[in-house]
């Protein structure tokens, strides 16, 4: 009798275990089917689809892992879309910014070549053509810097330098340019050595681009270049008293291909300040801009100070 009862209990337990296992298998099969449907949906292009799973489900960890991979994939895809849009804008800008001055340059040179102008007008045409050729070279140089800076092969050679002396050496070549452009200049660099880690060519490019930006766009009559030592940073100020930058433009001023004056297509590539910011950040620094239209504009470069 006791044996029969025990066998009955075991039979019931076996049946109950079987029902439980079957229920679990059915649940897992349903979850796998849901996962397959979700993956098919994602494969067809729905990047927002995610696999839903409760924490107590057997496939939960697998579902969360797949969701993580999809999330990262979508992030990379989004970056690729942004890069494609940037490249498209770049090619459109390149086509316009190169073709327009090149066409103008050819027009002036053809006029001289055909002899339809003479005397002073011929000399004027040649001078304009010369300036156009230099503008075109400057644009291509900036474009080359941009592509180089954004290539995976680009690397800076960071070394410890004395910023004051390095800046003086850069600025001495600008003095004749300031005078030629009737730009009153003021330079304040401490005599005390100020050490920072920078790439020599990169730092020169930062300073040169910011000064060239003043000369090309600001219409200023005064420029002030100052270096100041703070507790943990070295600050380089480049300030002018030109037309300034509107507040609506300030937040975009370092964006690639951004031009404050959309109608000023023959001046500036929209890449110069973007190159400056990238270069500063690659040296673990930062850059800010403040401006009050028709009063002042000041770009400030912050570099980490090394203790001497």
pLDDT in tens, 216-244: 889 999 999 999 999 999 999 999 999 99
What tokens were used for 147? Answer: 């592509």
Q: Which of 18-27, 43-52, 296-305 shows the highest mean pLDDT? A: 296-305
- Which of 137-151, 233-247, 292-306 is predicted with the least confidence, judged by mean pLDDT? 137-151
Is residue 276 packed enough to be buried (19+ CB in 10 Å), middle (13-18) or exposed (0-12)?
buried
For residue 7, what are the CA distances in angstroms to 10, 13, 14, 93, 293?
5, 10, 10, 86, 95
What is the average pLDDT across 273-283?
A: 92
Measured CA to CA, the distance from residue 222 to residue 218 in angstroms comes to 10
Q: What is the dihedral of CA 169, 173, 179, 185, to 10 degrees?
A: -30
The model's confidence at residue 263, banded by pLDDT at 50, 70 and 90, is: very low
For the residues 66-70, what does the mean pLDDT come to?
A: 87
Model confidence pLDDT, tens digit, residues 164-204 = 999 999 999 999 999 999 999 999 999 999 999 999 999 99
Tell me what pLDDT residue 259 has: 67
Rounded to an integer, what distance in angstroms lies between the CA atom of residue 11 and that of residue 19? 12
Q: Reduced to 3 states, what is the DSSP secondary structure of residue 232?
A: coil
pLDDT class of 269 with cuts at 50, 70, 90: low
Contact 62, 51 (CB under 8 A): no
Please give the C-alpha separations between residue 73 and each of 38, 76, 80, in angstroms, as whole numbers.
15, 5, 11
pLDDT at position 63 is 85
Separation CA 125–CA 120 (nearest Å): 9
Each residue's pLDDT tens digit, 27-52: 888 888 888 888 888 888 887 788 88
The pTM assigned to this predicted structure is 0.66
205 beta partners: none
Is CATH 3.40.50.620 the right assignment for the domain spanning 159-304? Answer: no
Going by pLDDT thresholds of 50, 70 and 90, the confidence category of residue 93 is confident
Cβ atoms of 129 and 105 closer than 8 Å: yes
Instruction: Give the pLDDT score at 28.
Output: 82
Between 143 and 238, the higher pLDDT residue: 238
Helix, strand counts (H, E) of the chain: 8, 7
């Amino acid at each position: 009798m006791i044996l029969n009862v025990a066998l009955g209990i075991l039979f019931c337990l076996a049946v109950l275990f079987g029902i439980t296992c079957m229920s679990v298998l059915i649940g897992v099969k349903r979850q796998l089917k849901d996962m397959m449907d979700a993956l098919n949906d994602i494969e067809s292009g729905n990047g927002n689809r995610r696999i839903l799973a409760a924490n107590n489900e057997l496939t939960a960890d697998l579902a969360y892992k797949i969701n993580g991979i999809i999330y990262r994939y979508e992030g990379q895809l989004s970056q690729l879309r942004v890069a494609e849009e940037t490249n498209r804008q770049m090619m459109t800008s390149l086509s316009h910014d190169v073709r327009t001055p090149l066409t103008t340059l050819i027009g002036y040179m053809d006029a001289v070549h055909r002899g339809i102008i003479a005397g002073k007008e011929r000399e004027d045409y040649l001078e304009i053509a010369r300036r156009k050729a230099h503008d075109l070279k400057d644009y291509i140089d900036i474009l080359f810097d941009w592509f180089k800076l954004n290539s995976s092969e680009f690397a800076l050679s960071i070394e410890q330098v004395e910023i004051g002396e390095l800046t003086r050496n850069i600025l001495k070549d600008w003095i004749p340019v300031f005078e030629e452009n009737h730009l009153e200049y003021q330079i304040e660099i401490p005599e005390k050595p100020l050490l920072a880690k920078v790439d020599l060519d990169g730092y020169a490019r930062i300073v040169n681009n910011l000064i060239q930006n003043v000369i090309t766009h600001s219409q200023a009559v005064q420029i002030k270049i100052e270096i100041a030592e703070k507790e943990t940073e070295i600050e380089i100020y480049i300030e002018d008293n030109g037309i300034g930058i509107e507040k609506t433009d300030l937040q975009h001023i370092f964006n690639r291909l951004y031009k404050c004056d959309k109608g000023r297509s023959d001046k500036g590539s929209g890449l110069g300040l973007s190159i400056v910011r990238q270069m500063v950040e690659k040296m673990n620094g930062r850059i800010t801009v403040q401006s009050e239209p028709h009063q002042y504009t000041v770009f400030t470069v912050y570099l980490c100070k090394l203790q001497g």
